[in-house]
Amino acid sequence: MTAPRPEAHPSPAPSPAPRHDPGPRHDSGPVPRHDPESAPRPGPGPEFAPDPGLAPRPGPGSPRPPWHVTDALALRYAEGSAPETDAWSLEKHVESCTACAARVSAAVRAGTAGPALAAVRAELLTSLGHRPAPVPVSAGVGGTVPSGSPLGRWARLWWTVGPALRGSWAVAVVLVVGGAFGLAHGAGFQGAGSLLLAVSPVLPLAGVAVSYGRHADPLYEITAATPSGGLRLLLTRTAAVLAVCVPLLTAGAALLPRVAGFPGAAAWLLPGLALTLAALALGSFVGCRAAAATLGGGWLLAVTGPLLAGPNAAGAGAAVLAPYFSGSAAQGGWAAAALACAALLVLRRRSFDHLEPR
């Protein structure tokens, strides 16, 4: 009799090696790629102090609270140790914040570069004919700028309008209008109105020529290196020139004795605008002074020369000026030329970010 065989028990299967559980997974979509355009821009952080007078609005979509430059960031910027992004934010912010501009200026003056900057400032103002006032350097980083400082709003505006309105150009415009009145009412010259109308379009060119450029502005290299330099500053100074020319010349021409068949007092506005924009566009290639001289000289030769050579001043004035000022065809041509020059100026706007050739 055979002995019963023991019942076989299956051996337990080896347990798998424990695996690392990464935890619950959250499907958040694809991993975002770095995009420089979508990267967060430098904003208020530990180096920027929020404005205590304005409380931030709650909510995820609310705008950030207004911020200002702290003393620590102003000191690091003056020492040259501020990060590049913080320096960019600071330079952009001080364009519109007088308090922060004063804080940064005080920090720079109190640093190692203070004596060198004071010497450059004194030499520059002396070369411009101004007696520089003493600049206090003991105000500290958080000091304030005195009320008589050039950082005042009106002083900034006065320097922004350019050398034309501060120099002899504005006086020359007044003398031109006064000379036309003297010829018309004092000497009885009937062609005074035609002469004033003929030279009116080139007077803004002279203002632009002495407002911007290496040869006109002693502060040109400094202003060209600022964020507000280039075409923006040139357009600001051109607008200031036109703001002086337009009312003076138009009112002067309107008050002169009228001549039959003579163009109206405002007939020079579109030609003057077209020539001014042409000077700006051409100035992007050869500089403002050369462009204004070329266009102004060509206009005077084409218009004023035949006007002075005419035997009858009044009749010759109406005949010579009519093709340039009278009629819808002439005014429409000047309007089209102004638009074309403005388009070329937009295409050439980056050229003003570089210094003019010597």
**DSSP letter string over 251-301?**
HHHHHSPP-TTPPPTTTTHHHHHHHHHHHHHHHHHH-HHHHHHHHHHHHII
Query: What integer is the mean pLDDT of 116-145?
Result: 61
Radius of gyration over alpha carbons of the chain, in Å?
34
Q: Please count the structural domains in the chain.
A: 2
Q: Identify whether residues 276 and 170 lie together within a single domain.
A: yes
- In this prediction, residue 223 carries a pLDDT of 78
Residue 192, pLDDT above cutoff 60 = yes
Domain boundary among 97, 112, 142: 142
Residue 164's contacts (CB-CB under 8 Å, 6 or more residues apart) are 170, 207, 208, 210, 211, 237, 240, 241
- In this prediction, residue 281 carries a pLDDT of 96
Mean pLDDT value across the chain: 76
Whole domain around residue 251: which residue ranges?
158-353
Establish if 59 belongs to a structural domain: no
More confident position, 238 or 308: 238
Q: 263 is written with which tokens?
A: 């163009």
The answer to whether 100 touches 76, Cβ cutoff 8 Å, is no
The answer to whether 303 touches 275, Cβ cutoff 8 Å, is no
Segment 56-101, tens digit of pLDDT: 444 455 555 577 899 999 999 988 899 988 888 888 888 888 889 8
In this prediction, residue 316 has a pLDDT band, given cuts at 50, 70 and 90, of low
Q: Identify whether residues 78 and 203 lie together within a single domain.
A: no
- In this prediction, residue 258 carries a pLDDT of 79
Segment 203-260, tens digit of pLDDT: 999 999 988 888 888 778 877 777 778 898 899 999 999 999 999 999 999 999 877 7
In this prediction, residue 142 has a pLDDT band, given cuts at 50, 70 and 90, of very low
Establish if 220 belongs to a structural domain: yes
Establish if 3 belongs to a structural domain: no
More confident position, 54 or 47: 47
The answer to whether 201 touches 271, Cβ cutoff 8 Å, is yes
Q: 349 is written with which tokens?
A: 């706007």
Task: Give backbone dihedrals phi and psi of 155, rounded to 5 degrees, phi first.
Answer: -65, -40
Residue 343, pLDDT above cutoff 90 = yes
In this prediction, residue 6 has a pLDDT band, given cuts at 50, 70 and 90, of very low
| Domain CATH number, residue 87 | 1.10.10
3-state secondary structure of 191: coil
Establish if 17 belongs to a structural domain: no
More confident position, 356 or 200: 200
Output the pTM of the full model.
0.63
More confident position, 67 or 129: 67
More confident position, 18 or 300: 300
The answer to whether 317 touches 259, Cβ cutoff 8 Å, is yes
Produce one character per residue of 191-205: b if its CB has 16 or more CB atoms within 10 Å, e if not.
bbbbbbbbbbbbbbb
Query: What integer is the mean pLDDT of 277-286?
Result: 95
The identity of residue 10, as a single letter, is P
Q: Strand 48-50 vs strand 67-69: parallel, antiparallel, or unpaired?
A: antiparallel
Q: Identify whether residues 76 and 180 lie together within a single domain.
A: no
